[in-house]
Each structure stands twice: as structure tokens, then as C-alpha cells.
């Protein structure tokens, strides 16, 4: 069975769903239900557990969980979604994707947009139900029509990728725009890329930069990388600042964007817009070579590693490897 990260958009696009949904993937896309009453213990449990800030045991929250189950069994849709999320994440309630999907469906069929979105994600990722892009698109659409930005984003992904529906770039752009206006960071990034590339949609450099900047300032690595490319092109056209491009590449590299790490490595070795630094160059190139997908960029990173190593002392290489390991450990890699 295909997974969400392996679905291909098509040979012409050369992008996969993992790129579209971002580094975090589907696994972290299930929502936190801020619309549930914040003063209720059950809501506090969900908000703490689902974002990883609370690692309490079932015994600590037994009474609240009992109350939540009671309300879900009585047919209240938001408690059904919250209980589904707890089963999905497997904290204080047993991890059970089938039970989570069942609860999401109960809420979704009552018209609850968060339940519709969660059920769409279940079908999209094949967790608790058989993977079915058509069903995923159906539930995302129902939720999106009620204004949920995350559902609008996923409809954009599916329109872009041609999953569960015909590939439709203008429609993808429309859904990304709706989600981006609500502050969905990945939608902002992809909307900027669409304005930049103009794939079956009009190009608009000003709009591209505006949306990429909004996403980049919130930490989206691809937006940071693309702004580096845009700023580099501006510099070559004598209308930009080379320091701006380097700043965005550095931020993307620090965050883990492999191609940005490759660019930083080459720039450090060449002394391009910075002092020449073989240790930093080799650090970035090691990371890029180990993290790039097996494609031309990875081959380039390996070649650049070899070229840089030939110019270094053993002590410099040892220091670069230490820095690379420290970077990995700091990010739990």
C-alpha cells in the first residue's frame, strides 16, 4: 500500500506529497481543538498531550477521561474528536487508529469540521481505515466548506498532486490562498512557490515574495530556501543584496534543509560573500551528503565533500565532523 509520503504527483511535476505537506508530514497534522472550551479538564488533556507538552499517565487523568468518554458516547461531536485524537496519539487512551477513525466518523457525520478533517487525514494516510484519496478529498472538502484552513490546505495538496481528483493547479492555488489567509504556514509557502514558478498559473514575483516571507519568518524551511534563491537572482540582476540571500540560505541550512546546506558548504569553501572557512564548509557538506535524497544534489554533495577534504588537514576534518555530529545531536537526528 502506498503511503502519503510516497504518492507521486507525476513525472512532470517531480515533487512528492512529502514535499507538499512539509518536513513534519501527516503524522503531526492532526489538529489541536482550540475551539473546545478551554476551562474543561478534557480539553486541557488533549491540548497538552497532542502537542507533546504533557506526558501524563491514564491514572493521572482517569476522572476527566471518564467524563470525556461519557460525553462522546452521548453523541457530542467535539468530545468524539478529542477522544479520537487521544486514541490516535496513544496517550492516556490506548493507541488505536481504528477507534480513532470510528470516533472521527461519528463527529464528521454530524457536520463537525474538525471531525471531517481528521477523518480526511485518516483516509489520506491510511491510518485506521484503508487509504482512499477520493474519500479523503470528500471529507476535506466538507470541512473546507466550513472554513477550516487545514482542510483547505489539504484540498490544495490533492488538487496540486491529482490525488482523489483531477490535477488542477488553479484550484490548488485557490485553496492554498484560502488557507494562507488564515495563517496556514505551509499553504503560504506553497502559494509563494506557485506564484514564483507559474506552473499552469500566472507568475507574480511580488506576491511570491510576500507569501514566502510570511512563511519563512514562521520557520518554513522551503520558504527560506526559496527566498535565498530569489535573493540570489535579484543580486545577479544587480537589484538585490547578496547578504540577504546568504542569510536565508543559512537559516534554512540551520533548520535542516539539505540543499541549503549544500549551498552553504560550497559558499564557505569558496569564500562567497563570507570569509573562506573549510571547517564550516565540510560540516555543511557532510550534512548535505547524508540528508539529501539520492539524486543529483546528493551526488554533488559527495563530490564537494571529496574536493573540500583534499584541501584540509586531519585536525580540520575532525573538527568539521565534530560540528556536524553536534548539529545532528542538537536536533535529535
Angle in degrees, CA 159, 85, 74, rounded to 5: 110
Closest CA to 158 of 327, 63, 17, 62: 17
Contacts of 80 (CB under 8 A, 6+ apart): 72, 103, 104, 106, 107, 112, 115
What DSSP string runs through 285-309? Answer: HHHHHHHS-TTHHHHHHHHHHHHHH
| Calpha distance 307→229 (Å, rounded) | 24
If one counts every other C-beta atom within 10 angstroms of the C-beta of residue 124, the result is: 28
Is the separation of the CB atoms in 263 and 287 below 8 Å? no
3 state SS of 16: strand
Q: What is the pLDDT of residue 40?
A: 52
Contacts of 207 (CB under 8 A, 6+ apart): 192, 195
Is the separation of the CB atoms in 77 and 106 below 8 Å? yes
What stretches in the chain show pLDDT beneath 70? 1-18, 23-61, 234-241, 333
Cell of 2: 502506498
Tens of pLDDT, residue by residue over 144-189, are 999 999 999 999 999 999 999 999 999 999 999 999 999 999 999 9
Cell of 118: 481528521
Q: What is the pLDDT of residue 19?
A: 72
| Calpha distance 147→318 (Å, rounded) | 53
Is the separation of the CB atoms in 56 and 48 below 8 Å? yes
DSSP 8-state class, residue 8? B
Q: What is the pLDDT of residue 5?
A: 39
CA distances from 293 to 60, 62, 147, 282, 300 (A): 43, 45, 36, 19, 11
Amino acid at each position: 500500500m502506498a503511503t502519503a509520503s510516497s504518492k507521486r504527483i507525476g513525472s512532470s511535476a517531480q515533487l512528492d506529497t512529502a514535499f507538499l505537506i512539509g518536513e513534519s508530514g501527516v503524522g503531526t497534522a492532526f489538529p489541536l481543538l482550540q475551539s473546545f472550551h478551554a476551562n474543561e479538564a478534557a480539553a486541557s488533556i488533549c491540548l497538552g498531550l497532542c502537542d507533546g507538552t504533557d506526558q501524563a499517565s491514564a491514572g493521572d487523568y482517569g476522572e476527566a477521561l471518564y467524563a470525556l468518554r461519557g460525553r462522546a458516547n452521548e453523541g457530542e461531536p467535539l468530545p468524539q474528536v478529542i477522544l479520537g485524537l487521544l486514541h490516535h496519539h496513544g496517550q492516556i487512551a490506548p493507541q488505536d487508529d481504528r477507534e480513532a477513525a470510528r470516533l472521527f466518523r461519528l463527529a464528521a457525520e454530524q457536520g463537525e469540521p474538525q471531525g471531517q478533517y481528521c477523518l480526511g487525514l485518516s483516509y489520506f494516510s491510511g491510518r485506521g481505515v484503508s487509504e482512499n484519496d477520493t474519500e479523503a478529498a470528500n471529507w476535506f472538502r466538507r470541512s473546507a466548506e466550513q472554513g477550516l484552513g487545514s482542510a483547505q490546505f489539504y484540498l490544495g495538496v490533492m488538487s496540486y498532486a491529482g490525488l482523489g481528483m483531477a490535477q488542477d493547479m488553479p484550484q490548488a492555488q485557490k485553496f492554498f490562498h484560502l488557507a494562507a489567509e488564515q495563517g496556514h504556514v505551509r499553504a503560504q509557502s506553497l502559494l509563494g512557490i506557485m506564484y514564483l514558478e507559474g506552473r499552469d498559473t500566472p507568475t507574480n514575483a511580488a506576491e511570491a515574495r510576500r507569501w514566502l516571507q510570511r512563511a519563512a519568518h514562521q520557520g518554513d524551511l522551503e520558504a527560506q530556501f526559496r527566498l535565498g534563491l530569489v535573493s540570489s537572482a535579484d543580486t545577479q540582476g544587480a537589484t538585490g543584496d547578496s547578504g540577504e540571500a546568504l542569510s536565508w540560505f543559512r537559516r534554512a541550512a540551520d533548520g535542516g534543509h539539505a540543499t541549503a546546506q549544500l549551498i552553504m558548504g560550497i559558499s564557505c569553501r569558496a569564500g562567497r560573500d563570507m570569509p573562506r572557512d573549510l571547517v564550516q564548509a565540510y560540516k555543511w557538506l557532510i550534512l548535505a551528503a547524508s540528508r539529501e535524497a539520492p539524486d543529483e544534489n546528493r551526488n554533488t554533495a559527495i563530490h564537494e565533500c571529496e574536493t573540500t577534504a583534499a584541501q584540509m588537514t586531519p585536525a580540520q576534518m575532525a573538527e568539521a565532523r565534530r560540528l556536524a555530529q553536534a548539529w545532528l545531536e542538537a536536533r535529535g537526528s
